[in-house]
Homo-oligomer: A and B are copies of this chain.
Amino acid sequence: MNSELKKIDICLSPAYYNKDNYSDNIVVVIDIVRASTTICVAFDNGATEIIPVRSVDEALLYKLKGYLVSGERNGFKVEGFDMGNSPFEYSKDKVNGKKIAFTTTNGTQALTAANETKSTLIGSFINYDIIFNWLSNQNTDILLFCSGVENAIAIEDVLFAGKLAQGLINTGDFFYKGDVVPVATTLFESAKDNLFEFVMMNSVRLNKRRDFFEQDIRFCLSDNQVKVIPQMLDGRLLKKKD
């Protein structure tokens, strides 16, 4: 418990981000389907470093330096890459002890935008417990930064932001000001009994991808828990030390 209340806020997509308001915040970058989830799995399976890069060409340059190269464009693995963006591709035998250069259509934009803040972490449903526990013990305002999709809202990111905001507010140590936090917590409350069905019923975008990605989407929305918090340091993601 801290004596002073800390502020929690949510940014719904990079298009709405104003870095001046959050430079002294801890920022949790959220890209549930699938970058956040995949990054958590990679570290849980022993990856030592992940460099988010903007372009496919930049990623391929890292291949020459011994990195695994991974990511997607429009959901699908890029030719010449070692892995796509499915969490199931980041198995222990593939990533343990390895460095990875990683690029996605939407995920790297929020990460790059949030890079000038006090601390930038990756949040997902699958590392909820550990990131919630760590955040609730910090004496700092927190921004939950949704990656969205093509500068619009991604409902699964808002759902996770709603879950995390609700959890933090329920500790009694956090307050919010704007209306975006209650929009997200109310959305999560409506959806929490069956996240997968809710998302399939409501998101045209995710429903269209069901045929290709159902197993991934189910995993990204699941309660499976990994014990890692990816943290951005000098342009690279590392597994946060306790």
Contact = CB atoms under 8 A, between A and B. Distances in A.
A113 interface: no
A128 to B, nearest CB: 21
A154 interface: yes
Contact of A204 (B149, B155, B176, B186): B176
Interface residues on A, range: 20 to 34
26 contacts: A15-B16, A149-B179, A152-B178, A152-B180, A153-B178, A153-B179, A154-B179, A155-B179, A155-B182, A155-B183, A158-B179, A158-B183, A177-B204, A178-B204, A178-B205, A179-B202, A179-B203, A182-B202, A183-B183, A183-B187, A186-B187, A186-B190, A186-B191, A186-B202, A189-B190, A190-B190
Interface of A: 12, 15-16, 149, 152-155, 158, 176-180, 182-183, 186-187, 189-191, 202-205
Given A15-B16, A187-B187, 4 more contacts: A155-B182, A182-B203, A186-B187, A186-B191
Contacts of A176: 204
Contacts of A180: 152-153
10 closest residue pairs by CB, A with B: A182-B202, A155-B179, A153-B179, A152-B178, A153-B180, A186-B190, A179-B203, A190-B190, A177-B204, A186-B187
Nearest to A184: B183
A16 B153 CA distance: 11
